Structure 1
Amino acid sequence: MAEIMIDSFQDVVKIVPILFLVILFTNWLTGKVNKGTENFSRLARLDVVGGALLGIIPQCGISVALAKLYSNGYITLGMLMAVFLAGSDEALIVIGAHPDKLFLILIIIGSKVPLAVAAGLLINLTIKERRNRLKGCGIDCDCPKCGKYKNILVNSLVHTLKLTLFLYVTVLIIEIGADHFGEEGLYVLLGGNTFLQPVVASLIGMIPSCFSSVLIAEGFLQGALGFGSMMAGLLANTGFGILVLFKELPLKKTLGIILLLQAISILVGEVLHFAVG
C-alpha cells in the first residue's frame, strides 16, 4: 500500500508545475472575460454558438454564470445546454498538464463544440421558451472555486493545490483498483469496457465536483475509460452549474434539463464507443 501511495504521488507531483501554469493562464483568461462585459454580451448574443465558445473555457464560473442567466430568463435553453455540453471543468487542465496529450485537447474541443452547437440549435427549434437577450451582464462568479481569492497568483496556487489533491486521490484509487483486481481492475472501477461504461461515465460526470471531471480525464489517460466513455462523462459535466439550477428553478424543470443532458451525453458516448472504443 505504501508503495502504491508513493508511486501515485510521484506520478502526480511531476506535473504540478505545468498544472499551475495552465491554471494561471485559465484564470487570466477568465479574468479578461469577467472584465470585458461588452465582449461577453457580444458572445452571448450569438446564442448557441456563443454558449459553446464560452463553455470551452475550463472554469466553473462560466457554467455557474450562464445557469444564473438562464434561471433569470436572459438566455435560451439551447444556449445553456451548449455551455454545459461544451464545458469540461477541470478535465482540460488535467490533460493539458501532459504535454504529449495536447492534441487530445484539440480533439475534445473539436468534437464537443460542434456537438454543443448542433444540440443547442435543435433544442431551441423543438422546445419553445421565452428567448430574452442578455443586456450588459458580465460573469460575476462567487462560487467556492472562482471567487474566494482575488489575487490571481494566490487563486491559481490554491486552485492548483486543491486540484493536485483531487488528482492524487483519483490516481491512488485507480492504482489500488489495478493492484487488487489485476489488469482488468481499471475497467472494473469504471464500469468495465462495455456498452454500459458510457452510462456510468455520464453519471459520474454529472456529479458537481472537481473530482468527477478529474476522474474522467485521468481514467482515460490511464486506460480505464474508452474515448466514447470519456466524451459521455465530459459532455454531462456541468461543474457547479447544475447546483444553480436546483437552487433557482422548480425541481421538475431542473430534472428535465438533467435528463436531457444525460440523454445527449449517453447517446453520443455510445455512438463513439462502438465507433472508436
Structure 2
Amino acid sequence: MKTNRILGLACLAALAAALPARADTLSDIKARHKLLVGIDLGLPPYGTVDAAMQPTGSDVEAARLLAADLGVELEIVPTTGANRIPFLQTHKIDAVMASFSVTEARKKVVDFSIPYGVISIICAAPAEIAIKDAKDLEGKTVAVTRGTGADADATKLAKADDKISLVRFDDDATLITALSSGQQDIMISAPAQMRDTNKRASRQLEQKFLLRTNGYAVGLRKGDAALKQAVDAWIEKDLADGKLRTSFKQWHEAELPADMPKE
C-alpha cells in the first residue's frame, strides 16, 4: 500500500510538471494589451455615462490612469454592487473599481490594493423626519443598495434591532429613483447618492448621522501578487503627483485626506 501511495504521488507530480504554468493576471493583461475593469456605471459620481453615452466618473478616470500606467488599453465591464465579486472570481474582469470599500468580510474572498479614495456611509432623510441615531429608525423602512458596504452596515443595524426594516434595490440608480420619487424616505448609502437624489427630487434629503468613513480600493483575485504590487505602486505614484486627488475633488467636491487610510 505504501508503495502504491508513493507511485500515485509521483504520477501526480509528473502530471503537474507536464501541465503548462498558469500565467498570473498581470502577465495576461500585458499579453492581451488590455485591462478589463468592472465599474458600476449606474453610480454617479463614481461611474456614469455622459450625454454622448460614454463612460465617465471618478472610478472611470482612475481606471484610465491605471491602464495608462500599465501601458495597455482599458475595457470597462459594467457591474453592479451584487455582481462585482462574482465577475472577478469567474475571470470576467481583471479588477474591480466600483467604489469598492475595504471590509473584513470582502477580504476573505478578494484581495485589495491600498485605497485610492474614501467613502462615507450615512443615513439620510428629509428634514421633517426626525432621526438622530439608529434608535430613531425603529418602526421605519430604510432603503439600501443590495451587495454594497452600506447594505452590510444597514444589515448590522437591523439585526441588532428587529424594529428596523430594510428594502433592498439592485443598483444605485433604482435606489435614487425610489428616493427622488417619494417611494422611499430614508436611505443608508453614500453622500454621492444623497446629492444625486437631491438633484432630482423636490423634497431634499439631509444627512442625519454618519455610520463610518473608510477607504475604497481596487479589488483583485486572491493571490494576484504581481498585479497587486503594480496597482499599489500606481496608486502611490498618482496620489503623490496629484492626479488621483485632482480627479476625486472634481467628482466628489471634497478633498482626499492628506494621510490616506492603509486599508
TM-score normalised by L of structure 1: 0.25
Whichever structure has more helix as a proportion of its residues is 1
Whichever structure has more strand as a proportion of its residues is 2
Larger radius of gyration: 2
TM-score normalised by L of structure 2: 0.25
